[in-house]
A and B are shown apart, each in its own frame.
Chain A
Amino acid sequence: MTAATVEGTGAPGWRTCPVTARRIDARAERLIRVNAVAAVVALLIGAVAALLLALTRWQVVHLLPAEWYYRILGVHGMNMLIFFIIFFEMAVLWFAGTVLLNARPAAPRYAWFNFGMMLIGALMVEAMQWSGKADVLYTSYPPLKAHPLFYLGIILFAVGALSVVGQFFATLTIARRERTYTGSMPLVVYGAMTAAIIAVITLLHGAMVYIPTFLWSVGLIDSVNPQMYRLLWWALGHSAQQINVAAMVAIWYMLGALTVGAVVLNEKVSRWAFVLYILFISMASAHHLLVDPGFGPAWKIVNTSYFMYMAVLASMIHGFTVPAGIELGMRLRGFTKGLFGWLRKAPWGDPGFSSLVLSVVVFGFFGGITGVTIGTEQINIIAHNTLRIPGHFHATVVSGTAVAFMGATYYLLPLIFRRKVSFWGLAKIQPYMFAGGLLLLEFGMTFAGSFGVPRRHWDISFTQAAHDVPFSPVVDLFMAMVGIGGIIAATGAFAFILIAVTSVFFGERVTEFPRGKAIAGIPQGLTNPPVHAANADAVNAELHAPARGWAGPTPGTLVLVAVFFLAFMLYYFTNWKLLSFLWKIG
């Protein structure tokens, strides 16, 4: 057994990772750490808010008064969709740009200035929201007006993030010039680059919408056109979640390689899919404007159908190549038995692997299918502003992105923070707890929304109202699912935060990664890195033999893809049927 020390023999300011043999710049490592810690703090605030919201929408409990419900809804949106996700993405950019390329960071001191700007901006927004001076929800639609410091805080945060994205591009340029890698950049870095480009698109629109709104809030301009605001704001608000998608897919590829030795089936196809994201995914923002009267059908259909389906195609490519890469990698390691032997033998107790699978499956089956369906112009009319919308985006942003980020964290803790994962037994079940609770919540929201229950609504029983809006009694069951699912998911989030914080600040220091030995607190992909079997070439030739016919080298994944398409067709056509009940012809 060999034991490699963590403190490697790199040049001053560098260390060599004993697992990946990559040189890690100490300045970049500190930036990764501090952004990851800020992300976890935002996650904590957002998770507390989530629990309060779930216990309010569950009508039996109905915890918060109306004013605090809307205030906390805004806090939840900003912390989860902006601060948690973007701080973590900054960590991903520094990791991908430096660690994966053996490169030095561009202008690391300036990066601290940018981090400080993001932090101050986030604190300003928090202060305004918690003090009740920005009860304008996440979208802050005019004529709702918040305190100027709320808008200024968002602008500072966005400028800081945009500057870090610029530093990421500079780091990639330095890496290429200094030839720290040869050929094309690695696929994981390519995914991070895709996220960075989408971030530029997003943040440019953020500037276009928030600068005039800030000027309006201080009285320098008289009004903000609400329709123009909605157009530009959603190019920020929805595209911000497309940064997540690209970063999440990059992490899928990374976790697949680290946990089970997944391979990339076809570099060209995977890169094509990322380029399709760059070109077409941001315009999915138009989904939010499908019932707005200010836009014609041509604009709506081109943006949400013809062009946006190119991005859907890209997601389906990744949704196939990632599990297929896992299957092929496992088969090349010798797990060749039957259709799903590779899946049965997978390391389900490794939180990095379980997070990866849960993220891929729930993002694809739930988030993807519901997203494409409710993004269809005609069907959108029966889903718009109902709980189906948060049911969809919790499946993409939380079950997809947040779960993938959590899975990556279980590997970053030993690799970057050089600490063992604390509460290892809890860490093994945490992804299941978090994803299971979310699934219950998402089903509850989606079904309740199908019965017309509105989103962003404090009291659907309309207590003390002069009129009555009766819902089907089954809605009570679905709202209970939202409440119970929310409690379980929040518990899973708190478990993750407990594990992450304890590991970082009080965790046992990792001094070595003994090979071939299971160690509590270190994921199996680091102590037992997946390697191909000695006869991998023969297995590969056999798997690719023409005699295998349509099944090819990854028959198990093909079956899963068939199940996906069946579910997709069933849900899509069921919704057209539902629409026909309301929209009778003839």
Chain B
Amino acid sequence: MDPSTSPPDASDEPVPIGQRLFDNMYLLLVLGVVVMLVVFTAWGMWEIMSLPQATLP
């Protein structure tokens, strides 16, 4: 199938749940942002902020 064209539309058949999830770009957008913000950003910030104060000589 040409990747620049849509897959065949089987409008008479129910769309599988997985396909509906993959077609929901706003859901993917939210998931992408949340995963990054939690696993990388928030956890990383917490690591920095919970560092003990260095004792100067």
Contact = CB atoms under 8 A, between A and B. Distances in A.
Interface in B12-57: 18-19, 22-23, 25-26, 28-29, 31-33, 35-36, 39-41, 43-45, 47-48, 51
B3 A254 contact: yes
Interface stretch (A4-12, A71-79, A179-187): A179-187
Interface in A252-276: 253-254, 256-258, 261-264, 267-268, 270-272, 275
A320 B48 CA distance: 39
12 contacts: A184-B19, A197-B28, A197-B33, A198-B32, A231-B44, A235-B41, A253-B3, A254-B4, A262-B3, A267-B1, A268-B18, A295-B47
Given A185-B23, A294-B47, A256 B3 contact: yes
A11 B4 CA distance: 22
Given A235-B40, A264-B3, A271-B22, A182 B11 contact: yes
Contacts of B39: 283, 302-303, 307
Chain B CB within 10 Å — which of A200, A231, A285, A286 has the most?
A231
Interface residues of A, number: 58
Contact of B32 (A197, A225, A232, A295): A197
Interface of B: 1-11, 18-19, 22-23, 25-26, 28-29, 31-33, 35-36, 39-41, 43-45, 47-48, 51
A231 B48 contact: yes
A201 interface: yes
Chain A CB within 10 Å — which of B4, B10, B19 has the most?
B4
A356 to B, nearest CB: 13
A462 interface: no
Contacts of A169: 25-26, 29
A193 B33 CA distance: 14
Contacts of A272: 22
Main secondary structure of the interface of A (DSSP, over half): helix
> What are the 3 tightest A-B residue pairs by CB atom distance, in nearest-first order?
A183-B9, A182-B9, A253-B3
Contact of A183 (B6, B35, B44, B48): B6
Interface in A270-296: 270-272, 275, 278-280, 282-283, 285-286, 289, 294-296
Contacts of A268: 18-19
Nearest to A228: B48
A64 interface: no
B47 A296 contact: yes
Contacts of A197: 25, 28-29, 32-33
A59 interface: no
